[in-house]
Structure 1
């Protein structure tokens, strides 16, 4: 929710600063003054003219299109674009992907050779080579 482009956290921050600067008693006076000013502004004929002009400007492009009779032309152009788009292009892309996929997919990894099972004989577990005297 935004009012005048100010979010709720920003509004709380502004109120806190106003309380620090004005104090609680002057805050009430400032609130009344601002409220009276906003009431006079909103009920004034100037504000009504401003809002009417703003609304008219927002709706002006649609109004011009309607008056010029371009709605039908826009619909015809959209239909022509839909018809001009080849429906087979999707299948062509799928075929191209199938043709290219063998070249773009990485090769399957070759598994590592199995490791021999560990023996339970303690003599085999020693890492030092045996030296025979002789």
Structure 2
């Protein structure tokens, strides 16, 4: 079913495929890509009767969110670094978590207590067959 783009409003619920055709007329994005953005929380969508719907406004908001995410550098901006208290960083939290994991694993590696009875001999049992 062909949708007349002139009749579509920005808040009209559209199936993902139709929204994709209108928002990305030259391609570059797939329905699977939209579903990924929904899972990542970047694209708002509704599920009605097992079918996913979104709006052109939601896609515009997703695109703005993606542009904002690209502007930040991997190391963070100077203002982000200034907001952190001196001496704290994600590296410190990671190191602390790794230290805790190493301590737990070393405790598990240690020799476990003997759970066998002291008098367990390894004598074989004689099987008698009836003729």
TM-score per shorter chain, which class?
A: 0.3 to 0.5
Instruction: Looking at secondary structure, tell me which structure has more strand per residue.
Output: 2
Tell me which of the two structures has the higher relative contact order, counting C-alpha pairs closer than 8 angstroms and 6 or more residues apart.
Answer: 2
| TM-score normalised by L of structure 1 | 0.32
